[in-house]
A and B are shown apart, each in its own frame.
Chain A
Amino acid sequence: MAEFKEISPNASAGAKLTNWFENRFPTAFDAYRVHMSEYYAPKNFNFWYIFGSLALLVLVIQIVTGIFLVMHYKPDAAKAFESVEYIMRDVPWGWLIRYMHSTGASAFFVVVYLHMFRGLLYGSYRKPRELVWIFGCAIFLALMAEAFMGYLLPWGQMSYWGAQVIVNLFAAIPLVGPDLALLIRGDYVVSDATLNRFFSFHVIAVPLVLLGLVVAHLLALHDVGSNNPDGVEIKKGPKGNRWSPNAPADGIPFHPYYSVHDIFGVCVFLMVFSAVVFFAPEAGGYFLEYNNFIPADPMVTPAHIAPVWYFTPFYSMLRAITAEMMYALVACVVLAAAFGVFKARMPVLFKGIVAVAAAVVVALMLAIDAKFWGVVVMGGAVIILFFLPWLDNSPVKSIRYRPSWHKYVYAVFVVNFVILAYLGVQPPSPVGERVSQVGTLLYFGFFLLMPWWSAKGETKPVPDRVTYKAH
């Protein structure tokens, strides 16, 4: 409890009012200082550091437009499609609200993917920021759930059949699968019951989880302090800057310095966002799929069912796991186990455990249907991100001081991810299948072999202080 502060009777009315509030609600004033005016962020941020703020902005856009959409939308299989068209036609400005929400969904993934890539480039997930990264991965997972359930609500053909395909995946889990799928749908097929529960999750449950995680992500970040493009810990450097003698010398108050940065970034972002909303809200069928303008029809399966673009890298990996591919995966497991048994330095007992565990895994891989392993691979592709802080063995954090060839490793990873995304949009083809199988191995190879490759090569000397050129 802070001291009650008296104020001179000659003070201005504004100062008196501020004092009145500060005495009665000091927490708010402390929070403003801790998170804004006295939060010292490294002064050498580059444009990659805008995407966190932008993600928060998009979250706000989604919540506000979502509130207005719920006022007119009807979560009823007989009325859902009609109510969306009602919003588009009869609700004043309804078309704008709806396009902002649909474009916002894609924009969310664009900024979050870029935000995550920034973390990857500069090693922002490494000690002491592991929890910041883990909360972030949880946000990504929650966001995927939010987007998936929201996509059912317009009740078009793609909404319906996309949900049907994805929920059916859960049925591939041995023993509990079919009952689990039934629990998710609330029916034997995607139906009104499914629509109602997805609506409930989309507007209440998942947003609450998301908001909680965003708060945790930011609080944890502000506790340990932001990383920066040099990967230098400003808290370990000299103290004292022109705002505070105790603050890191290379730190700068978040407000106003990064708030003015962010205002500029927000303006540029809004130009791109508005260009899509006003001139190309369908974004060539990628943000609003053409098939989704046909009302859901449980009797007519579309020739080609593809998820929205932001899920397609993971969808590609799911489709890549065929019975044939299982042999390649079995070979990978056998190779990894053999390496552990013959090469690694560990007690014989552990080697025995590794060998037995590998044998059990191989047996399961051959016994259970490839469809199930596809689900495991798709889920694993997201879950593996959580472990990144412990996979990276490089002596330096930032790409700037890593061996030059690491840049090519990241480039291959990014290009591979984009190719997987592209293949996920396309109808299945023999060539596409092979490419996506190689892509899946590359994706997992990047992470699983990271403890080995990230430690290789000659690092460059890391400076003691951040590198900063005055603008």
Chain B
Amino acid sequence: MKKIILSFIAALGLAAGAAHAAGGSTIPWDKAPNKLNDLPALQNGAKLFVNYCVGCHSAAFMRYNRLKDIGLTEQQIKDNLLLTTDKIGETMKANIDPKQAKEWFGANPPDLTVIARSRAGHGGTGADYLYTFLRSFYRDEAKATGWNNVLFPNVGMPHPLWQLQGERRAVFDQTTHAFKGYEQITPGSMSAQDYDAAIGDLVAYMQWMGEPAQGTRVRLGIWVLGFLFVMTFFAWKLNAAYWKDVK
């Protein structure tokens, strides 16, 4: 009996280990900083999102007034973030006409509400993917938009934050075509470090937006488990009391 259970566990472990080894993409994903509990970072991320993303991408399931959950007041949201609508109960709809978008970029820009959840994979979390993606753009004159991406080759989207990061060239090995690094062509308005921090904020915001209830979920879960732990103790005592005189 024990052997069966042990071999079962061993097989599961084997399967899980192999699952992590498989898969892969062009470059390894960088670990996104965890800023889910950092309200100023989330607010900065929301600002970046509204200024640089919502022009073309919707977050059609995300309501502006939900931003109160990351510490903003209704007035702050109205004054600073309502760029595409005048009603705070509205969802974040893009300004762009989907038909035109398809003509310009070859594809309709995807909705970003749950993008952080959908992009998780063997390389890491969805946040890791986005953090790497938004820091992997480079100048490529062979492309119609003039931009390309190391993580997502031939991406339709031009670099949305190029003014912040500046323009870079990618260096590839002559024979193996392996990616070797970047060369800065023109400076951006931010230093490389500040840019990474800003992308960290933006990604944290998108991660939060993917599931605004996630903080509540974890906090509540601790109480639920605590309660169940106590209840399990009493259930165990109850069981023992009934069975103690069964011979």
Enumerate chain A interface residues (CB-CB to B < 8 A): 43, 82, 85-86, 88-90, 95-96, 99, 121, 252, 256-257, 260-261, 263-264, 266-268, 270-271, 274-275, 277-279, 281-282, 285, 290-295, 399, 407-408, 410-411, 414-415, 418-419, 421-422, 425-427, 470-471
Contact = CB atoms under 8 A, between A and B. Distances in A.
Please indicate which of the listed interface residues B1, B3, B236, B239 has the most CB atoms of chain A within 10 Å of its own CB: B239
A89 B63 contact: yes
Contacts of A414: 4, 7-8, 11
A411 B3 contact: yes
Contacts of B62: 89
A422 B228 contact: no
A421 B61 CA distance: 35
B169 interface: no
A274 B60 CA distance: 30
A285 B129 CA distance: 15
B225 A275 contact: yes
Contacts of A89: 61-63, 66, 212-213
A275 B232 CA distance: 14
Interface residues on B, range: 35 or more
Given A89-B66, A290-B120, A411-B4, A264 B236 contact: yes
A279 B228 contact: no
Interface stretch (B49-57, B135-143, B157-165, B216-224): B216-224
A415 B61 contact: no
B224 A274 contact: yes
Given A85-B114, A267-B232, A414-B7, 8 more contacts: A82-B61, A86-B61, A96-B217, A121-B1, A260-B238, A263-B235, A293-B117, A419-B11
B19 A425 contact: yes
A422 B240 CA distance: 40
A99 B213 CA distance: 12
A418 B15 contact: yes
Nearest to B231: A267
Contacts of B221: 274-275, 277-279
23 contacts: A43-B246, A85-B61, A85-B113, A89-B63, A89-B212, A95-B213, A95-B217, A252-B246, A271-B225, A274-B225, A275-B221, A278-B225, A279-B221, A290-B120, A290-B121, A293-B117, A407-B4, A414-B4, A414-B8, A418-B15, A422-B19, A470-B247, A471-B243
B196 interface: no
Contacts of A261: 239, 243
The main secondary structure of chain A at its interface with chain B is helix
A111 to B, nearest CB: 15
A279 B8 CA distance: 25
Given A274-B224, A274-B225, A422-B15, A263 B7 contact: no
Contacts of B243: 257, 260-261, 470-471
Most chain A CB within 10 A, of B115, B228, B229, is at: B228
Nearest to A86: B61
A293 B61 CA distance: 12
A471 B244 CA distance: 6
Interface of B: 1, 3-4, 7-8, 10-12, 14-15, 18-19, 22, 60-63, 66, 110-111, 113-115, 117-121, 126, 210-213, 217-218, 220-222, 224-225, 228-229, 231-232, 235-236, 238-240, 242-244, 246-247
A278 B218 contact: yes
A17 B8 CA distance: 53
A252 to B, nearest CB: 7
A256 B243 CA distance: 10
Contact of A294 (B118, B220, B242): B118
Contacts of A88: 211, 213
Given A89-B66, A293-B117, A470-B247, A418 B11 contact: yes
Contact of A264 (B114, B212, B235): B235
Nearest to B241: A260
9 A-B pairs closest in CB distance = A278-B221, A293-B118, A422-B15, A85-B61, A267-B232, A264-B235, A418-B11, A293-B117, A293-B114
A40 to B, nearest CB: 13
B120 to A, nearest CB: 5
Contacts of B22: 426-427
Contacts of B1: 121, 399, 407
A165 B244 CA distance: 55
Nearest to A279: B221
Given A85-B113, A285-B120, A415-B8, A90 B63 contact: yes
A274 B7 contact: no
Contacts of B235: 260, 263-264, 266-267
Given A278-B217, A426-B22, A290 B224 contact: no
Nearest to A271: B228
Contacts of A271: 225, 228-229, 232
